[in-house]
Each structure stands twice: as C-alpha cells, then as structure tokens.
Amino acid sequence: MASSSGTKPEMGPPRTPSKRMNRAQTMYVDMQNEDGSTIDSELVPSSLAVIAPILRVANEIEKDNPRVAYLCRFHAFEKAHRMDPTSSGRGVRQFKTYLLHRLEKEEEDTEPILGRTDPREIQMYYQNFYQKNIMEGQFTKKPEEMAKILQIATVLYDVLRTVVPHAKVDDETHRYAEDVKRKKEQYEHYNILPLHVIGAKPAIMELPEIKAALRALRNVQNLPMSRVRSSSNEPHIMSERNKSLDDILDWLSSVFGFQKGNVANQREHLVLLLANMDVRKKNLEDYTELSSETVQKLMDKFFKNYRSWCNYLRCESNLRIPESSDKQQLQLIYIGLYLLIWGEASNIRFMPECICYILHNMANVVNGILHGNVDVVSGAMYQTTAPDEETFLRTVITPIYQVLRKEVRRNKGGKASHSRWRNYDDLNEYFWSKKCFRLGWPMNIKGDFFVHTDEVLPPAHERPNQVPTGKRKPKTNFVEARTFWHLYRSFDRMWIFLIMAFQAMIIIAWSSSGSLAAFFEEDVFRSVLSIFITQAFLNFLQAALDIILSFNAWRSLKFTQIVRYLLKFAVAAAWAVVLPIGYSSSVNNPTGLVKFFSNWGGNWRNQSFYNYAVAIYLMPNLLAALLFILPRLRRTMERSNWHIVTLFMWWAQARIFRIVTSY
C-alpha cells in the first residue's frame, strides 16, 4: 500500500511464499460466493469482534472504490495484529493469514489503477460519500438507512485518520466528520426512550413526566467545566475542554471519564426512575417540574447502604448539600454518580462496601469541584490529559478486578483449601474498617489490598531489583475449617433447645407419677432446673469451638475481637463450674458426685444459691428475648455509636456491617 511518502508500509511478519495452496488460501476460495464477493466479516474470531464492522464497510464500498475497500481491510488487519500480535486466540492465526493473502492479491489488483496517492484518494472518497449520501440523503432516506450510512462514514473516517497524517487532513473533512458525529447520535439504537430522535417525536417523549425528568436532568447551570494542562511546554497555560454538555451525566463523564454507552444507559434509567416515581404524586393537568420529594425519596433509597456504611465507620458522609446551592441539581449529581459507578463496576457490584468507598471519594471530588478550589479528578492538581471514556474503568475498576482475578486463580478450580484464597466476602470486608482509607484517592496500587507476595516469583538471584512491596492481606473474620462441628456451631441455639427439652422430658417421664403435672412437684421441679447446667456445658462447648474453628483467622482479627473470644470462653468455663456447685448445694441428702460438689460449696446449701445463680445466668437470655420481640429497638442499638451501647453489643454479638440492598 502506498503512503503519502511513497513507501510501502509494513503489513506484518514476513511470509515465505509457497507453491502449494495452504489452509488460509483454501478457506479464501471456499468462502467466495457465486458473484465473487466474500463474507470475510463473518469469519472474524470472537476475540477480534471489533474489526468486523470495518470489514463489512469494506464489502459495502468495494464496488464504488476497490482501493478504499483495500485500505479498510488493511486497517482491520493492522488493528487485529495490535490486538493479538502472537495470534494466540482461537482461530486468530488462520484469520490473519487469510486476510493477509487477500490483501496481497488486492494490492496487485488495485495499485495499477490508482490515479492519486492513498491519502488523497480516501479523502476525496470520504467527501464525495458525505455529499452524496448524508448531505443529500438525510431528508429522503429512511432512519434505518441513515443509521447504516452514518456507520459507514464513521468507519471511513477512522481509516482515514490512520492513512492521512493529522496535519494534512482537510478542514472540510474535519467539518464533515464533526457533522457525522452529531447526526450519528440521532440514529443510535435505544432501549425505551428515543432521546436524540429527529423529526416527529414518539408519543412517549410527549409525556409530561418524561419532559419534567429530562428538564431537571438537563439543568447544567453553574457546573464548571473540567480543565486540563495545555500540551505546550508552559505549565501555567490551562486549556478548558470545549465540550457541550447535554445533561448532568455528561458533566460527570467529562470529569471522571465514564464510557459513552454506560452514560446513555444510566441516563435513560434515571429518567424512567424519576418519571415513574413522580407521576404517582402529580396532577397531570398542571405538571411542569419534578417534585423535590421525589428526588429526595430516590436519593434516600439509593444511599441507604452508603449512610449505614458511614455510620458504621464513624466517618462523615460526603453527600453534602449546602443551603446556598441548587439542592435538586446536586441531589441528581450524586444519584447520577452512583448509577455511573454501578454501571461500570462489573464484578465489583458484588462488593457493596467497596462501591461505597469509591462513591465516598468521588463524591468528595465533586464537592471540591463545585464548592472548593479543586479543578480535576485528582482532587489536588491539574491533570496532564483529559479523561477519556475508559479512565474510570482503567484507573478504578481494573485494579480491583485484577485482585479478584488473581484470588480466583488461587482457587485451583475448587481444589484449593478455603484458607488459601479470598472470595468476594473476604475482599469486601476489607472495606468494613477504617483501614480502607489508607488506600487513599486515587488508590495506591502498592497498598496492602493489592499486594500478592505469595505469587510464584523467579529465584532471588534472577530478580535482584524485585522486592515485595508489602504483605498480602489474609482472610478476614472467618476461615473455613472443614469439620462436622459446624453443624453444632452454626445451629447452637437449636441444638441447645432440643437437648434441654429432651433432658426435661426424661426427668418428668421418670418421676413417680410419670405425668406432665409432676413438673409442679418440688423435687421434680428442682431436678428439671438441672437443664441449665446442661446449657452451661453446651455454651462452654460453643465458646471452645469459636476459638478452635476461627483460629486460622486470628491474624486478621482485631484485638477486641480476640479479647471477646477469650472472655466468652472464660465466662462460659466459670458458669460450667458455678452452676454444678450451686445445684449440688441445693440437693437434700446428697450422695456420690453430688456430695463431693456439695462439700465444695460449703454452707451455701441452705441459701438457695443455685436459684440466684440461675436468675443471673438467664438475664442475658431474657434481654435477648426482649430485643427479639422489639426489632426496632434492636436495629437502633446495632447502629448506635454510643460507647455504652457499643460495649454491650460487642459482648452480645460480633460487630459486623449489616449490608442493606440499595439497588
């Protein structure tokens, strides 16, 4: 292929000619139709699916200009080679070989008839294509035909930019490309709402609730444009991004760099949410603006889990709405930010507190931009380049996803021990502690959350400059120990109740009368009270299992959690001693082992010590039953930050974050 300099560019690794027809050439012959056209766009491997539209455009324009079709296929080959230079994907080597042979054949066929250089040829064809199909056909062609034409024009311009140096592209070509970009949005596929449709608007766009939601979302007044450093050598010169903003989601995308498809999906999603919630409270005869109650209700729903997370970590929420600001606009900015984060979170969606951490920091950046002196995403200084469509995905989601991916590899297909790798819950629980703020923002990739020191490394003499940057985080709170004792530990209340009930029934059945009324006899009742001794021993077993089965997780437990386990064990052991002594001292004419404990108990025999001990022993159970009957009181105490309540709940149950579904 001739270039502007007259040289033939490199198309890939050199091939050795062969007299025999290889597999790719055979495939090329077999895939030709009767009219000689090929369907090479259908042969594209799944890993190279992005080049299929380029090959379809080449097939569309081949009759009009074979040389430009050749340039399109050459661009597709170069793009495929950049995506998979080693041809390791399934079917990639065969496809690239087939395409290379076709390019060699078309190079011989099209170069002799070339009247102009390739840069001039493709620019002339692009301008003629625009004037003939877009400028003249936009008023006569059907929408589906225009969508196809604009897609072809977009691909042609991408190919043109690779063939023609940027300085040599005509101003007219640039102007046509900008017009194609604007018109393409009007013909893009949509789910429910045709937001960019031209001509007669569909009925759904005339609904008053849809108009009101769009009007609120398109309120971009007083929103500052993000600024970036100029490409010149003078650092004090700043350039503002000259980009028109359609709505709040476009502004967020210009600041943080969200993908265009994600912005379009969440725009439609948010409009429908606002419209559906608002229409239930409105009189449609006089309906122009969104209700403030609607936006507030939607915000409370979305950020219920985030506010619980902030309360749990005792940190201040970054969803700040100053009195002097446009309250509804700022609320929609926060809601839109959450939806855009969630839309690109991928597998991170299964880590809700990680989403809270991301939202917490990005909301702080928004506050700095709107109410402070912060001008860019970094929150502190100007960026060197403007954020592109993959900035958020590349800088925030990808590093966290790589941690998930590496942990899954340690699973070894389910054969590895549970203690050797971390799952979603283990990684998510990292964000249940204030330690997560050590990652900073932007996140420090060398932080302990991202460290993998147990990966296979070359010997030390082969990596003199490679040293571990930190210690890999262990599993948190729970490490599975495969034992049948989990049947008791997980359902201890059920087992304790069944064993105590069984013991009481045996005592009543072996009484002199054998009837249920014997329960009210003094001797039988005193014997039935021995079930609390059984409960004390079972609680002791539960406390011992808590220590034994959680021992592998002690490296990651807080000191207070370890103290709680040890105190629980000590108290359970104390009750397992005190209750038998108290019971033996209350038995008349004791014998055997009961007599031994009775002598140990001394003079407590006549003071009903056992009755007092049982009353004290049952007080935590009675309080737990009260909290069970009053669930609102229990939830309030669980979320309380009072130190007395926190201390009480620390003893009653381990302090964990209760996840609230907010999406």
State the DSSP string of 603-622: GGGGGTHHHHHHHHHHHHHH
Q: What is the mean pLDDT of residues 288-293?
A: 84
460-477 burial: b if 16+ Cβ within 10 Å, else e: eeeeeeeeeeeeebebbb
Encode pLDDT of 363-372 as tens digits.
999 998 887 7
238-240/227-229 β-pairing: antiparallel
d(CA 328, CA 278): 14
* pLDDT, mean over the chain: 76
Q: What is the mean pLDDT of residues 247-275?
A: 92
Checking if the pLDDT of 281 tops 80, the result is no
Tokens read off for 536:
């004390």
Residue 436 near residue 357, CB atoms below 8 Å: yes
Q: Which of 163, 170, 169, 167 minimizes the C-alpha distance to 2?
A: 163
d(CA 131, CA 238): 37
d(CA 328, CA 321): 9
Q: Provide the CA 446 distance to its chain's centre, in angstroms.
A: 20
Q: Which of 254, 228, 259, 256 minimizes the C-alpha distance to 243?
A: 254
Checking if the pLDDT of 377 tops 60, the result is no
Encode pLDDT of 401-442 as tens digits.
988 888 888 777 766 666 666 777 788 888 988 888 989 898
Tokens read off for 341:
């984060």
Angle at 169 between CA 168 and CA 171, to 5 degrees: 120
Q: Provide the CA 459 distance to its chain's centre, in angstroms.
A: 36
Encode pLDDT of 593-629 as tens digits.
455 455 545 544 445 677 788 888 888 888 878 877 8
Q: What is the mean pLDDT of residues 320-342?
A: 90
HEC string of 96-144?
Answer: HHHHHHHHHHHHHHHCCCCCCCHHHHHHHHHHHHHHHHHHCCCCCCCHH
d(CA 102, CA 547): 70
Encode pLDDT of 351-367 as tens digits.
999 999 999 999 999 99
Tokens read off for 43:
């042969």
Q: Which of left, alpha, beta for 289 (phi over 0: left; psi -120 to 50: alpha)?
A: beta
202: preceding bond cis by omega (within 30 degrees): no
- Ranking 79-83, 264-268, 406-410, 450-454 by mean pLDDT, the lowest is 450-454
Band of the pLDDT at 474, cuts 50, 70, 90? low
Band of the pLDDT at 227, cuts 50, 70, 90? low
d(CA 346, CA 32): 40
| Residue indicated by tokens 């597999």 | 23
Does pTM top 0.75 for this prediction? no
Most trustworthy range by pLDDT among 275-279, 303-307, 565-569: 303-307
HEC string of 250-310?
Answer: HHHHHHHCCCHHHHHHHHHHHHHHHHHHHCCCCCCCCCCCCCHHHHHHHHHHHCHHHHHHH
More confident of the two residues 603 and 639:
639
Checking if the pLDDT of 344 tops 80, the result is yes
Q: Which of 488, 504, 505 minimizes the C-alpha distance to 540?
A: 488
Tokens read off for 628:
């069970």
Amino acid identity of residue 448, one-letter, is: D
Residue 12: what pLDDT? 38
Residue 475: what pLDDT? 59
Band of the pLDDT at 246, cuts 50, 70, 90? confident
Angle at 333 between CA 331 and CA 336, to 5 degrees: 110
- State the CB neighbour count (10 A cutoff) for residue 409: 13
- CA distance readout (Å), 212 to 185, 271, 274, 627: 22, 9, 9, 46
492-509 and 531-549 helices, crossing angle to 10°: 160
Tokens read off for 390:
């993959």
Checking if the pLDDT of 28 tops 50, the result is no
| Residue indicated by tokens 């012959």 | 29
Q: What is the mean pLDDT of residues 327-339?
A: 94
- CA distance readout (Å), 34 to 28, 87, 104, 491: 13, 31, 22, 72
Residue 660: what pLDDT? 46
d(CA 158, CA 163): 9
Checking if the pLDDT of 480 tops 50, the result is yes
- Ranking 307-311, 397-401, 525-529, 651-655 by mean pLDDT, the lowest is 651-655
Band of the pLDDT at 182, cuts 50, 70, 90? confident
Checking if the pLDDT of 524 tops 60, the result is yes
- CA distance readout (Å), 381 to 359, 363, 521: 20, 17, 82
SS3 162: helix
9: preceding bond cis by omega (within 30 degrees): no
Residues recorded for the chain? 663
Q: Count Cα atoms within 13 angstroms, Cβ side, for 590.
A: 21
Residue 119 near residue 163, CB atoms below 8 Å: yes
Residue 508 near residue 516, CB atoms below 8 Å: yes
| Residue indicated by tokens 């309120």 | 219
- Residue 375, Cβ density class (10 Å: 0-12 exposed, 13-18 middle, ≥19 buried): buried
| Residue indicated by tokens 């729903």 | 301
Q: Which of 18, 19, 1 minimizes the C-alpha distance to 75?
A: 1
d(CA 22, CA 25): 5
Instruction: Extract long-range pairs of 624-628: CB within 8 Å, 24+ residues apart.
Output: 624/652
Q: Which of 285, 4, 24, 322 minimizes the C-alpha distance to 163?
A: 4
Element (H, E) at 582: helix 559-585
Q: Count Cα atoms within 13 angstroms, Cβ side, for 105.
A: 9
Instruction: Report the chain's C-alpha Rg in angstroms.
Output: 36
HEC string of 367-387?
Answer: HHHHHCCCCCCCCCCCECCCC
Checking if the pLDDT of 242 tops 70, the result is no
Instruction: Extract long-range pairs of 62-67: CB within 8 Å, 24+ residues apart.
Output: 62/37, 64/125, 65/121, 65/125, 66/106, 66/109, 66/110, 66/113, 67/110, 67/111, 67/113, 67/114, 67/118, 67/121
Q: What is the mean pLDDT of residues 636-657?
A: 69
d(CA 386, CA 226): 8
